[in-house]
Structure formats: structure tokens, C-alpha cells
Structure 1
Amino acid sequence: MRVSTRLIFTALLATTGSTFTAMTANAAATQAAPIAYPKTLRQDVVDTQFGVKVADPYRWLENDVREDKAVADWVAEQNKVTNAYLDTLPGRDIFAFRIKALYDYERYGLPYKKGGRYFYTRNNGLQNQSALYVRDSLNGEGRMLLDPNTWSKDGATALASWVPSEDGRYVAYAIQDGGSDWRTVKVLDLATGKETADQLEWIKNSGVEWAKDGSGFYYSRFPEPAPGQKFQATNEHHKIYFHKLGTPQGEDKLIFETPDLPKRGHYGQVSEDGKWLIVTSSEGTDDRYEITLIDLARPEAKPRTLIAGLENNWSYIGNQDTKFLWATNKDAPRLRVVSLDVAEDDPKPVEVVPEDQATLDGASLLGGTLMLSYLVDAKTEVRRYSLDGKKLGTVALPGIGTAGGFGGESDDPETFFSFTSFATPTAIYRYDAATGQATPWAEPKVLFDPAAYEVSQRFYTSKDGTRVPMFVVHKKGLDLSKGAPTLLYGYGGFNISMTPSYSPTRLAWMEQGGVLAVANLRGGGEYGKAWHDAGRLQNKQNVFDDFIAAGEYLIAQGITTKDKLAIQGGSNGGLLVGAVVNQRPDLFAAALPAVGVMDMLRFDRWTAGRYWVDDYGYPNKEADFRKLHAYSPYHNVKTGVSYPAILVTTADTDDRVVPGHSFKYAAAIQAADIGDKPHLIRIETRAGHGSGKPTDKIIEEYADLWAFTAKHTGMTVK
């Protein structure tokens, strides 16, 4: 992420500060009357599950906003009320102004080398979407190949992914429109500079894997949904196809399916030698896979189940002829590297790199070297090994933070990696595995001093005695004698690790004297399978306890107070925020649940929701139902208790966590007797779960979020 912003932005902020102050003071004076929330229709809908009567008065809000006028009208009325309140907030314009300035820097994506060419994305600063470029040599002049900023007037159509063919002549690229998870795949011919006639639809949860001869590629897709169900129908019958260039999608060859197991998803990878298609199959979000090998050199050969049972994580690293390298958590909760010789009838894993105290987070085969990325207390450490498992040293990183990348060809020592931290914008480095040298390839030039911020890692004790890490970030020298407005962020699920990363929006919060805290809750992947298991299914309450304990620690340490503590989380983190607000409404001043899973008894009925049973359990199984019902945000809103200020956020095209979750939750908190603080919902249009959101929408959204949070944590926005 990088800047072309001139110093004039600083001057403008200084000269217009008094104007902003006067405007916001006047606006604040007008906000005296209590909020008149839209009246939401309550219906007498009650389900009886395992002898428990479960009321669901706002079920009608589950309907697709594009298909149901009543829901669309409700959304319009909610946004009207929310916008009227946000218009009164001190600091909203200042935050928007500053976030825009902080976004205005040139930033690059990781280069991808094919056919001697270097492909990468670049954003000049305030472009809504990053464009795709290519260089014919490492330091040659880049030329633009695809500019998604020209694809729609509102900037909400994104370049979701792209993969060059082996010879670098073609690029298959996926288009994401309006934030939806559905993708359309097209092909660009670099020889002509034009799109080919190839166009593929109904693609989701898929990569593109080119055949080594460039004749076409493998991909996964779902059947076309029924009319009106594009954004809500459950996704089943995932299949892998081969698309031959120059032919219509209807002629694509079916490669792999499991019709008797419709819930399985399938992802295909072509081995580097081009001889095999490795099919990874799963039924949920947990890292439990079945591996199937398809011999591409023998079309008549039947697919071979190499690893059966959906019991462990098996991630393909690379192969040398019939010896395949895998990262696996079989007999190693924090993962190890093993080899399997597929020439054997019943190959047994042979350990190459044993399990470590740190968690193995990524692996690649590069220049005859194994590059293994580990999480050491949620920070990246990259280690090098020979192919027989001998230690060769580590990669020197620019500091304590998060590194990613290290992809490439097994016989090519050249690769690239990114590095970022909370106050360090993402930089790209070229790494030579033969010499062990890393050199900057694209470093951001930003309009602030990263050295002016302090990053520390704390460890606190959760309710059951578990030691939990948390990052705390703020300006150096910040006066904490009376506690500071603090934003506590958490996720805690799906084996996803919260590692250090830079965000212009978060920096805008810290510039104003705010503290950022990021807790590494159980349910994540920071410490491997055991850490994940400790925060899912019947153990999900541990995640909420960890988050509550993080807030209590920040208060006990004098970093903040109850009146200055805000919490934020998105998706599974939105569920987290909703649950802990119900359980400890006294602990927080403000809450920002985004695109959350709020109805834990019906989440598996829409789109990708069925996959989440790995973390949440099955609502139709009694033991799971009782646990889910006990913490479901929508079903556990208290009454007669004072709640913090709440600003729910979602989007009309979210087809991952459908917006009905947030709609129903917002209706429930507005109807409950939970005090006079605002309980609002902000519903974005032409946006989805988060990916592909244009820069201007991000700026607007976070200006609203931070102004709302500042108002209710006592921050004076300057």
C-alpha cells in the first residue's frame, strides 16, 4: 500500500480545522431529541426445536432486498435514520478527509512470474480498484493490461483474481461485481492485447489452473441457481471442469464430481511438472481434506483417492516426480512437512520437517529449497530447509510483522514476498533463494512517520486461565493517565490468525489519540489445531470469554476505561461482537458488528452458511442447538439493561453472510428496552462481504464508523 499526496493536505487540515470545529459543534447541538427508529413489522413466527419455543418475529427480513419491496423499503428507512444521525457527528468530515489522504499512496501487489514476464497489480492511490500490469523484465517499464476502474460507473466491479498461462501469453481473470462472491472468468491475449471470446459463469470458491501447454485451464463451478435465488440459495454440487480456449463453456469437459456427496467442494491444482491434477475436497471450513489424484498423462486412468476420510489438513507443496511434499496436521497439531511416494500402492507419510513449537502457516518449494513460514506468537518467521529436511537458516525480515508470498518455480531461486505491520505499510521485496538476499522491489512512500507509533504485544489471562496474546498499538508518548479511547478488534474462528497488518483507516483512528488493540482469541489459527478447537463447536464460549477478558485487561492496565472502550469485528467477528454485547453490555461504550452471523439457528440455510457447521455445529442437532441458542446474538438481546451504542454494518449484495442476519438483529435491538444510546444499522449498496469494495466506499464507511465511535468513547476529534 503508497502515496502521492502533497503536503497541501496537511496545510488544508490546519487551515480548515476551525471551520470543521464550528460546523460539528453546531451539528452536535442539533442532536438532542431521541432517535425515532423506523417501525419494523413483528410477525407471530415461533418454531419449536427440541422442546424449546424460539420466536423469530423478523423472519420476513431474511428475504432478498432485490426481490422483496417491503425489505427494500425497510432498508431505505433505516439508512435514512442512520444517515440523519451520522450527519450530526463531530469529526465525520475530518476523518473522511484524513482517511482519504492516508489512502493516497502508490501500492503494489506481489509480482507473479510466468514466461519471463512479471505480472502484478498497482493502485496509484485513490483508485477504487487496483489495475493489472506486466513487465517484460524485472525492472522494466510496466504497462497496464486490465483497468477495472473502467468496468463500472460506481467503481464496484473488481478484478478478483488473475492467473497467467505458463508461457505468459494469456491471463485468465475473474470479475467480481458489486461485492458478490460469484465470479465471471474471462481471458486476455497479450499477443493481441484483446479479450478472447472465452467467458465462464457461475464460478465460486475456485481458482484457475492452467494446463502446462496453455491450451486451457481447470476451474470449479456450481450449477446455475434458480431464478431469484442467486444471492441466497445454498451452494451444492461443486464440480471441476476443463475449459479449452476458444470453445463455449457448454462444451467444457467435466473432470471431477461427487454427485452422491453434494455438499463437498472441490479445488484442483496442476502439479508443476504438469503430470497430475491434485483435487482437494472438503465439506466445511475446517482444514479436513480428502485428496484425489488424476493422472493427466493418462486420460483413461480413473481418479485415485490418495488420502480419504476428511480427517486432516493436507496442503500440497510440490513434487519431484512421484514424491509429493505436503504440509499436514496429521499427528502434528501445529503442522509438519511430510512426503508421500504416489508410486506406492499404499504410500505412508515420511517426515521431512517435524512439528515445531511455532505454527506452520505456509510452505513453498523454491530453487530446490523448502521455504516454511511460521507463526511465532502471531508474528511471521520464515525458515529455509533442504528437501531432506536440513535447516538452512532463516530469512531476514524488515521487522516484527507479517510476511507473505514466497511463491515461484521449484527450480527458480527468484521469488517475492510482502511485509507489513500495524504502522508499516505493505512493501514488496525480491528474494534470491540461492544467495539468501532480500532487496526492496516496491516500497511505499507515505504521509506519516511509522516510527511515531509504538507496537507492543501483551499476554493476558482469560476466564479459564488460558494465556492469550494481544497487540496494542498507539502513538508514542500517548498520555494514558486517564485512559484513552480504545478500539478492541477480534475474530476468533475458522482457524484464521490475526497477524500485524497496516490499515490507513486504523491509522486515522490512532492519529487522533486512539489506541488499537487486536486480540488473538481462541478459535483462530495462531497456535495450531488445538487453539482452533478450543474456540469452536461446544467450546465457542471460550472465544467470547477471551474477548471479554481482553477488554477487562485493557481497563485494569489503565489503557482505557469502560466509557472509552469500543469493540469491532466482522463476519464471525460480527457474531463475536453481538454475543459479548449481550453477555457484558456494561463493559463497552460502543460496538461495531460488521456483516455478522447473528441468527445461529438458521445460518446454514443460505449460500455458504452450510460450510460453517465445522465451527458452529448443526442447528438441527440437539446438543449443538442448545449451545447455539445460548449465545445467538439475535435470540439473546436483553431487555431492561443499558446497552452500549451500536452501529451495525452490512451490504445489500453480501451473499456470504446474507444481510438478513444483520437486518433481524438490528430490528431486535431497536425494539428492545436497552437504553437511550443509538442502535443503528448502516446498509451499503452495491457491496458485499468486503472483498472488491471500492476505495471511496471504504473511506465513507470508516469516516462514519470512527465518528460514531469517537462520539461514544469521548474522543475529541481535532
Structure 2
Amino acid sequence: MPLRKIPLAATLLAAALSALAGPPSTPVKDVTQVLHGVTVHDPYRNLEDVKSPATQEWLKAQGVYAESVLGKMPEREALTRRIDELGRATGDLVREIVRLPGDQLFYLKREAGYAQFKLVTRNGLSGTERVLVDPEQLTRAKGVPHAINYFVPSWNGKLLAYGMSAGGSEDASLYVLDVASGKALGEPIPRVHESLVHWAPDSRALSYNQIRELPAGSPPTETFLDSTVFLLQAGADTRTAKPLFGPLVNKALKLDRLDVAGVTFDPSSRYMLARTTDTTVPEGKLFVAPVADLGKPQITWRQVSAFDDGVTDVRLFGNTLYLRTHKGAPRGRWLALDLAKGQTVADAKTVIEQPAEGVLKGLVVGQGGTLYAEVSRGFTTRTWRFAPGQAPADMAPGRGGSTFAIDDPAHAFADVWLTSSAWTEPARVLRSTGPDKPAVDTGLLQIRVPPGTPTLTVSEVMVPSHDGVQVPLAIIHRADLKRDVPHPTLLVGYGAYGLSMEAFFNPRSVAWLERGGVLAYANVRGSGALGEEWHRAGFKTTKPNTWKDGIASAKYLVDKGYATPKTLGIWGTSAGGIFVGRAVTEAPELFAAAIFDVGMMDTIRSEESANGITNISEFGTVKDPAEFKALLEMSTYHQIKDGVAYPAVMLIHGINDPRVDVWQSAKAGARLQAASTSGKPVLLRLDGQAGHGVGSTATQQASKLADVYAFMLWQFGQAPGATTTATSSSTPAVKTP
């Protein structure tokens, strides 16, 4: 959609734009820097000042122009209707389930046809649902979409903490309410962006990480520096909050300014844990202290692990601290250390070994300390029980697809709940009482396959990349699809932070598949599909493997007859902007169209932004010569060349994006518009009431997907009357709220 709430000046501007033969012009104001002996040109540096009137008008003009072009796509309205129909026909969505003693349940639920998730509670599966928080009430009152970013019930289930933000900004404030009455306790606490909120064992106080209120004129890179963890009695005045942990609190610990921490508790333990990360990579520092120290003027924190120990996940149970590490085990292992004995990670014992195949991931500690761990292989993850002296056992034997363990934070249950997931089957919430019995459907999640959905088939293959390394690729299409003619094919990839694509069913994708479309998902290097070594093979100076794996996947789809370069598209989101942007700039002849979705486009300037500084640990810094060279190579903006026939590109961005600033899409879009000689459109699809996608409404999500599919079909020539140009002599239609 265009910029929402377009002011009158921008609406009037639309009439002028209708006479243009192309997108709004962008003046070149080149800024040059010499970095490690290399002169780096930046012709659109001025667009980084997104608050300037000139940039604001340019963004509005680009958004209106994009909408004028998108509005003419032949299949847009039909796809919008179909995707909405599919969303309504499949049932209510449920996610983020929390089980507490006494069979209390808390979860987020979005009913079919509604815009946003509500926070609900019930007593057991037979209990009546009760809505605790409905963001749509604030949306109606303020005219801006609101969303729940996180929630944490107290251990006894009587109180609830949750974060709420507006317009996709993720600028969450922390609220506390009484569950029985539904009444708010105290005032909202601003700048509690992260879900680093935890209840003390007595359920009366909670810890939270709050970023600083910066003085006017502070550079954005200061945003996440020197944050502090506070402890506050529920409902008390925030001026009484006690600083617990942080660079400004514990100077003797010599924390980094970017050590963003959470202080966690467990009802079974007399210890509390402070864990730091830079908010981007999971590795960090770990400290422990007795919970009894909360009543003392000074807390004595003891460090148990450091960044180099490779700890990516933790669980606390009694005196035992469980740690997942990739140090010495690139596919992961779980360790246990005894806090009562003063142990550190060096003293820890392995309790779950690195698997012979697959990657060891999350851990749930159930009743009595029973351990349930997830092991992934390819696009599938299974939950296994690990018991001393017994062979690992699958907790859902006979059930296909993936099973992910739902946490049991208070270690209160003898059974374990699982969420199932598969490419062609809707997710379910299952209850397992043991590996010797079938897991049963709880009925909590009742997603249906949309009526009329064709029979689908999935192929999971290994594709040779540029260097012979085999890359996992999943391909989904109608079972009756024949490869004697090319089909509309969309390749999706990400490849960063060790995050992998898992098998999942998206009912709305039926709108693409039922038309004979093909969806392909590549777990390229930079993901964690094959463990930490796979992640590190697409990391900083090895980052080219990420997009070269994508190019290899695209060539495979062409070679095997799924598509031709005239019917092949590629899509990358966020850090996946590197995957899609560099695949397109390195092999433009392979693709007819591309989607740059809230993408990282300018990795040279990224670290000058609020969230960019937190990503140095993943992508590198321009201050290091080798990493600068890698950043220049992975920067789509700097690799766009004049006079190249690039495919059609739609850059999607929310104006309020806190993770990847909108100027990254703006600069890349302007550069592509000036450089490409293909005559194909380069459009900036902008939304003034959205951010990175977190908190987007069902309507926003469906509208975006419809535009992606319609844009692809338009450029593939698969729609009646479709053209491949972005110009028209007729007056464009401009959508306003």
C-alpha cells in the first residue's frame, strides 16, 4: 500500500505524477569517503535524513507513484480477494502459548476476519476464554494500529506484564494488569522494547530492561547503549524501581555499552541469572547471584561464561544451569553446571551430546527435571525426550512433519505440549504423555485447509552451489504440475544469524499454488540449517556464499524445468535483503522480478543507525579493513551498476521500521531507478503505519502478499493484458485510507 494517512499536499501531488513517464526524479548529491584506501561513492546520502521535508516529500511521491502503478496490475484485485477469502476460511490463529500450574493458559489469538491478535486466558482446555488485552480498542481510539509485542504472566498467574507498541514501531511500553479484574496496575513504563521482562519467584515484582531516554540531538547509535535492568514491585511508582544490572550499574564487571541484559528467575531456584547479548546474536555473557541479594544494597554477580564460550541458550532449574553451546560442537550440545558448587562453564558436564545427524536446538525442562530437546534435520525439527540411561525418544511417533516443544516455565507438568508444522498440513497443538503413546490433538488450534485447495507435493533436494557445496532447497507446487512448460516460480531465502527456514503451511500461499505457481525455499549459508559451521560459511567475509547459494538455487529451478528467467522471481526480507539484492545485482539475467522486503541494502552505512550498530557482530564493521571489504561486496546499493538491464524490483518498507531504516530501501530504489536500462519498474511500496512487519495487521499482511504475487505474475506475463513496463498515459488511481 502507499503511505497511509497521506496529507492533502501528497494527494494533490498524485495528479502531477500521473503525467510523468516514470518515477519521481531523485537529485544526485554524491558524498565520497575514502575507507582503507578505497573511494566509496554515495550519491543519495541525503535520503538518510528521513525527517527532512525534502526526503519526506520524496518518500510520499515515491509511495504515491508506486501505488499508481500497482493499482493497474491485472491480477491485483482478484488476488487480494482470494487471499482475504483464504485467511477467513482457515480458522483462528493461536500462538505463544504459556502453561502455568493449576492448568492456567495464556496465549495470543487472532480470530478469522479480525485485524490483530488479542491476549486471552482460560483455565484448562475446557475453560471459557477471556480476553485480557485487545489492541484493536487502542487502534480505534488513536487511529493507528497497535500490537502486543510480548507478554509474561506471573508464576501464580494472578498478574500479567505485556508490551504494546503502535504503527509497527516496536517502541513498546510495559503494562501490568491484574488478571482477575482486568484492571491496570500502575502507569505504563516507556522504552521497554525487548521481551526481557521476568517475574521474581514471589510473583510480586518484575525485572525489565529499559533503554535510556536520550537527549535531543543524540546520534541514533546511542539508542541501545547503556540500557539498565530494573526491579519494580508490581503497580509501584517507577521512581521506586531498583537498578539491578547494566553497564551503568555494575561498573566493576566491565560490561560493554552494548551488553543488553535480562535478569531471569525460576520458581524452583534460589538463583537468578543475568544474561547479556547485543540484541542480535545470541552469544553474550552470563552472571549468577542469589535471589536473596535482591534485598541487599549491593548484588554480588558472579560470571559463569563469556562470549567466546559460544552459549546461545540457557535454562535454569533448581541449582542447575543448562547451557546450549556450539563451542567444540558446531551442531550444538547441552551442558549442565551446578550453581551451588560455584561452577562455571569450564566445569560443566555434557547432558545432551551433539547429535550424529542434525542440529540440537531448544530445551524444555519439565516436571522433575525431565529434558525435552529439539533436533532439526533439513527443514524438519522433532522434539525428543532425553533421560539418563535411556535412548532418546521421539515424543510424537507416527506424526509427520515438525514438532516444537511448548515451554513449561514452572516445570509443572508430566506431559509435554507440542506445536506441529508441515509444508502441506495446518499446524496443531498436540499433547504427548510419552514416546510410547501417540500424541493427541488438544483442539486449541483449529486451522483448516482452505476448501478447494489442490493436492500439493513437496520436494526437498540438495543443490550444488558455486563451489560444489550442497544447499538444502524445498520446492512446493500442485501435484499435477508438469515441467514441460515454465511456471511462475518464486524463490525465497534469508541466510543470516544462524536462523533457518522450517517447514510450514501458509493457507494464503494457496492463492499462488492453485494458479500453477511454484514456491521454493533455500536454506543458504548464513542460516543454521546444518549447524554453526553453516552459519559461519555465510558470515562477514564469507557472506558471498549466501547470495551465490541463492543463484545456484535459481539455476537449479531453471535447469529442472520449473521456470525460465522470464518466469522466475526472488524474494528476501530484512537481512535477506543481502540474499536477494546481491543475487539480482550479480545475476540480473536470471530473474524477471525481485522483492526487496524491508531489506538491508546499504551495509556500508548500516552501522550508523540505531539497530545497525547491534549487527556489527553478524556482518562486520567498516573500521576493520577485511570486514570493510566484505561489507562493500555485500552492499546491494554499492554494487548497482549503470547501464545494466535489471529485473523489475518492488522495494517494500514500513516508514516506522526500527530494525532496518527506511532510507536503506530509499537509497537502493533511487539508485536502481537511475541505473537500470531494462525499462522494467522499480517501485517503493511504502506504508506509513507499519514497521519491520512486527505488529502488522492481518489486512496489511494480506495486502502485501497480494501485491507480491500480482507483481510477479504481471512481470512474468502470466496475467491477461499484462505488460512489463511501469508507464501509462492514463491517470493512476490513488488509494487513500
- Asked if Structure 1 and Structure 2 have the same fold, meaning a TM-score greater than 0.5 normalized by the shorter chain, the answer is yes
CA contact (8 A) 1:492 1:523 kept: yes
Letter in 2 for 1:112: V
Letter in 2 for 1:355: Q
Q: 1:351 maps to what in 2?
A: 350
In 1, Cα distance between equivalents of 2:84 and 2:447 = 16
CA contact (8 A) 1:413 1:433 kept: no
In 2, Cα distance between equivalents of 1:217 and 1:388 = 39
Greater RCO, 1 or 2 (C-alpha within 8 Å, sep 6+): 2
Q: 1:10 maps to what in 2?
A: none
* Residues 1:262 and 2:257 are matched in the alignment: yes
- Indicate the SS of the match to 1:374: strand
In 1, Cα distance between equivalents of 2:274 and 2:373 = 23
Q: How does 1:628-647 map to 2 (within 5 A)?
A: 628-647=631-650
Query: CA 1:400–1:136 in 2, change beyond 3 Å: closer, same or farther?
Result: closer
* Residues 1:440 and 2:441 are matched in the alignment: yes
Q: 1:674 maps to what in 2?
A: 677
Letter in 1 for 2:645: S
Q: 1:421 maps to what in 2?
A: 422
Question: Which moved further from structure 2: 226-235 or 101-110?
Answer: 226-235
Question: Which moved further from structure 2: 545-554 or 501-510?
Answer: 501-510
Q: 1:46 maps to what in 2?
A: 32
CA contact (8 A) 1:569 1:577 kept: yes
Q: How does 1:525-564 map to 2 (within 5 A)?
A: 525-564=528-567
Q: How does 1:92-171 map to 2 (within 5 A)?
A: 92-104=76-88, 105-116=91-102, 117-153=104-140, 154=143, 156-171=145-160
TM-score (norm 1): 0.91
Q: 1:296 maps to what in 2?
A: 291
CA contact (8 A) 1:291 1:308 kept: yes
- Indicate the SS of the match to 2:80: helix
In 1, Cα distance between equivalents of 2:72 and 2:455 = 32
CA drift of 1:717 comes to 7.2
Q: 1:26 maps to what in 2?
A: none
CA contact (8 A) 2:383 2:403 kept: no
The percentage of counterpart residues that share the same residue type is 28
CA contact (8 A) 1:128 1:155 kept: no
Query: CA 1:162–1:515 in 2, change beyond 3 Å: closer, same or farther?
Result: same
In 1, Cα distance between equivalents of 2:39 and 2:220 = 29
Q: 1:619 maps to what in 2?
A: 622
Q: How does 1:21-32 map to 2 (within 5 A)?
A: none
CA contact (8 A) 1:172 1:185 kept: yes
- Indicate the SS of the match to 1:657: coil
- Indicate the SS of the match to 1:417: strand
- Indicate the SS of the match to 1:324: strand
Q: 2:491 maps to what in 1?
A: 488
In 2, Cα distance between equivalents of 1:464 and 1:523 = 15
Q: How does 1:548-697 map to 2 (within 5 A)?
A: 548-697=551-700
CA contact (8 A) 2:454 2:478 kept: no
- Indicate the SS of the match to 2:116: coil
CA contact (8 A) 1:114 1:165 kept: no
In 2, Cα distance between equivalents of 1:309 and 1:380 = 27
**Structure 1 portions without partners, runs of 5+:** 1-31
Q: How does 1:235-254 map to 2 (within 5 A)?
A: 235-254=224-243
Deviation track 1:380-406 (CA, whole Å, cap 9, x = no partner) reads 121111157753444336322463524
TM-score (norm 2): 0.89
Q: 1:286 maps to what in 2?
A: 281
Q: 2:330 maps to what in 1?
A: 333
Letter in 2 for 1:251: T
Q: 2:201 maps to what in 1?
A: 212
- Indicate the SS of the match to 2:566: helix
Q: 2:387 maps to what in 1?
A: 386
* Residues 1:312 and 2:310 are matched in the alignment: yes
* Residues 1:221 and 2:210 are matched in the alignment: yes
- Indicate the SS of the match to 1:575: helix
* Residues 1:79 and 2:63 are matched in the alignment: yes
Deviation track 1:300-351 (CA, whole Å, cap 9, x = no partner) reads 45011111344312422232x3232222222211111221112234441211
In 2, Cα distance between equivalents of 1:155 and 1:102 = 25
In 2, Cα distance between equivalents of 1:363 and 1:317 = 8
CA contact (8 A) 2:212 2:223 kept: no
Return the structure number with greater strand share. 1
In 1, Cα distance between equivalents of 2:158 and 2:112 = 28
CA drift of 1:233 comes to 5.3
Letter in 2 for 1:85: V
CA contact (8 A) 1:370 1:387 kept: no
CA drift of 1:552 comes to 0.3
Deviation track 1:71-130 (CA, whole Å, cap 9, x = no partner) reads 110111101211111111110001100110111122222432224221122221121111
Question: Which moved further from structure 2: 328-337 or 651-660?
Answer: 328-337
In 2, Cα distance between equivalents of 1:419 and 1:34 = 51
Q: Output the aligned Cα RMSD.
A: 2.3
* Residues 1:277 and 2:272 are matched in the alignment: yes
- Indicate the SS of the match to 2:161: strand
- Indicate the SS of the match to 1:121: strand
Query: CA 1:448–1:458 in 2, change beyond 3 Å: closer, same or farther?
Result: farther
Partner residue of 2:72 out of 80, 88, 91: 88
**Structure 2 portions without partners, runs of 5+:** 1-17, 249-253, 722-737
- The count of corresponding residues between Structure 1 and Structure 2 is 685
Letter in 2 for 1:133: V
CA contact (8 A) 1:495 1:529 kept: yes
Partner residue of 1:177 out of 149, 166, 173: 166
Query: CA 1:97–1:165 in 2, change beyond 3 Å: closer, same or farther?
Result: same
Partner residue of 1:702 out of 681, 702, 705: 705
Q: 1:13 maps to what in 2?
A: none
Question: Which moved further from structure 2: 291-300 or 491-500?
Answer: 291-300
CA drift of 1:490 comes to 0.2
Question: Which moved further from structure 2: 544-553 or 440-449?
Answer: 440-449
Q: 1:412 maps to what in 2?
A: 413
In 2, Cα distance between equivalents of 1:500 and 1:393 = 18
Letter in 2 for 1:416: W
Letter in 2 for 1:693: S
- Indicate the SS of the match to 2:190: strand
CA contact (8 A) 1:384 1:395 kept: no
- Which ranges of 4 or more aligned residues in structure 1 deviate by more than 4 Å? 32-35, 228-233, 387-390, 433-437
Query: CA 1:434–1:512 in 2, change beyond 3 Å: closer, same or farther?
Result: closer
Deviation track 1:511-568 (CA, whole Å, cap 9, x = no partner) reads 2211000001010011111000001011000111100000000101111111100000
CA contact (8 A) 1:575 1:593 kept: no
CA contact (8 A) 1:402 1:499 kept: no
